[in-house]
Structures are given as C-alpha cells and as structure tokens.
Amino acid sequence: MKKPNHIKSALRTLDIESRALTKLAANLDNNFSKLCDAILSTKGKIITMGVGKSGHIAQKISATLSSTGSPSYFIHATEALHGDIGVISKNDCVLIFSHSGESKEIIDLIKPLKNIGCKIFSFTGPTESTIAKSTDINISTEVDKEACPLDLAPTSSTTAALALGDALAIALLESRDFSPDDFAKSHPGGKLGKKLTLKVMDIMSKGKEFPVVSPNTPLSEALVEISNKGLGIVAVVEKKKLKGVFTDGDLRRTIESKKDIHKTKISLVM
C-alpha cells in the first residue's frame, strides 16, 4: 500500500475550502444586507437551528452572536419538535442552517414557526430547496464540492456556513457600534475579558495587607515587615505621606555595601 502524503492531502483540503469561500464572497449580494437589517429590527433574540453538522455550525454561530452584542441561543431542530419551540416568541427571529435545504426535522418546523409569527431566515446550499423557499430571506452557501475525496463528508459546505455566520455576526457587531467594553461585559471570566476590565485596584494590596514602616525604622525591622506581608516591597510613610519605598533590589544593594542592617535606618537606603 502506498504511503499517504498527509501534507498533500491537507493542502488539497485547504485549497478546496478556500475556493469555496472565494465563491461565497463573489456571490454575496444585497440579500445579505436585507438579512442584517431584518435582524437588527428584531426586538427579540436570534434563535439558530440545525441538525447534524449544520447543527454544530448553528450552535457555534449562536455563541458568536451572543458574545458580540446580538443575544442568541441555539435550539436543536429535533428538540424543538418535542417542546423546545415553546421558548420562541413572535419577537424573535430564527436562522436555520441546512446544507441540503431538505432536512425533514427543519421542514416539519416551518409551519409551527410561521404560526408563532417570527421571522425565519436560512443558510442553505440550493436556493430552490424546500427550506430556502419557505423562509423570509435565504442566502446560499452552496459549494462546488466537498473537500472529502468521496464528496460526502460535510467539509467545504460547513466551512462556508461557518464563515457566512461569522460574517453576519461581525456585520451586526459593527452596526451596533459594539465596543471593547461591551465585549468585556460578555466575557467576564475569560482572559480577553480580564484584559479589558481588570484594574490595578482589583488586584492591588491595600490597608493592613501592605507593608508600611516609618522613616526611623531599622532596616532589620523593615525586612521583617516585608517578609510578613510577602510583597517584596515596603512603603516608608510619615504622617500619612509616602516618603519612599524599599524593595528587594534595594536590599541586595544594601547588603553589597556592607551596611549594618540593625543600625541603618530605612530612610537612608530607601
């Protein structure tokens, strides 16, 4: 059996998927703007739906929408048919992901969704599919072929749907003037959120936590204060005014100068 060329396979996949995105961009028209305007005018939330791989894409896009200023949640189409559709109101809009445009679970939901009165949008491959023709606005994510050599496993098609969903989220973000502060509010526990919101006052030592001595304190006693508080620095304060600081670096220089730490006042080496 011939040894497979993994790099060649990867490059082929990336080439096919990049071509799919190029085609998607070339075909983008005013329908996308209409979709953005329709969503921006929606008073409720954006509900994304899908089944199979399209369901995974819908779930990811819902998360991206929510974290970029467009409140959203994902509902699996099968679960929607068994009660979860009850959380949808006429003020919401539904964004359906279906590569074939013929997913039975989704088709079975169209009439109940229309009975609710919410707007229904879709990303499908064929624009003449049942789902595409049943929704208020449809955008095609059709690709020439999947990256899978069998042309079966959803690859190029899911990449196209994911990219278009991201494009939608960012277009909405820009329309809402979503700021870094807004982003931080939706990411309070993550590294990005902390980077944007964490202030010095949130992590600084204060009050009795911070080592403080007077200018006349012997260096040896100041070192005990530093050690007890474990900060590597001590503030030299007189009459509630900061006169200076003494750090680990100052200690090394003092030792090198061979000063007597028991007789030397900290004010002389701060």
Q: How many domains does the chain have?
A: 2
Kindly state whether residues 244 and 129 are assigned to the same domain: no
Give, as one character, the DSSP assignment of residue 152.
-
CA distance 148 to 156: 8
- Structure confidence at residue 16 (pLDDT): 97
CA distance 219 to 216: 9
Domain enclosing residue 141, as ranges: 6-196
Kindly state whether residues 112 and 218 are assigned to the same domain: no
CATH number where 239 lies: 3.10.580.10
Asked if residue 1 belongs to a domain, the reply is: no
CA distance 25 to 165: 13
pLDDT in tens, the chain (270 residues): 778 899 999 999 999 999 999 999 999 999 999 999 999 999 999 999 999 999 999 999 999 999 899 999 999 999 999 999 999 999 999 999 999 999 999 999 999 999 999 999 999 999 999 999 999 999 999 999 999 999 899 999 999 999 999 999 999 999 998 877 777 666 666 666 666 666 777 677 777 788 888 988 888 888 888 888 878 888 888 888 888 888 878 878 887 888 888 888 888 887
Which of 179, 196, 213 is where one domain is finished? 196
- Structure confidence at residue 235 (pLDDT): 87
8 Å CB contact between 125 and 99: yes
Kindly state whether residues 192 and 211 are assigned to the same domain: no
Asked if residue 130 belongs to a domain, the reply is: yes
Kindly state whether residues 95 and 68 are assigned to the same domain: yes
Kindly state whether residues 156 and 82 are assigned to the same domain: yes
pTM, 2 dp: 0.73
3-state secondary structure 9-25: HHHHHHHHHHHHHHHHH
CATH number where 135 lies: 3.40.50.10490
Bridge partners of residue 72, in order along the sequence: 46
Kindly state whether residues 123 and 158 are assigned to the same domain: yes
Kindly state whether residues 215 and 178 are assigned to the same domain: no
8 Å CB contact between 218 and 261: yes
Q: How far is CA 138 from CA 99, 103, 170, 262, in A?
A: 12, 15, 19, 81
Helix (H) or strand (E) holding 222: helix 219-229
- Structure confidence at residue 203 (pLDDT): 73
Q: CB count, 10 Å around CB of 247?
A: 14
8 Å CB contact between 146 and 153: yes
8 Å CB contact between 84 and 109: no
Kindly state whether residues 117 and 40 are assigned to the same domain: yes
Q: How far is CA 102 from CA 74, 116, 182, in A?
A: 19, 21, 38
Q: Residues with Cβ < 8 Å from 242, sequence gap 6 or more?
A: 235, 236
Kindly state whether residues 164 and 235 are assigned to the same domain: no
Kindly state whether residues 109 and 233 are assigned to the same domain: no
Structure tokens at 14: 């990336």
Kindly state whether residues 112 and 227 are assigned to the same domain: no
Which of 147, 178, 196 is where one domain is finished? 196
Which of 196, 225, 259 is where one domain is finished? 196
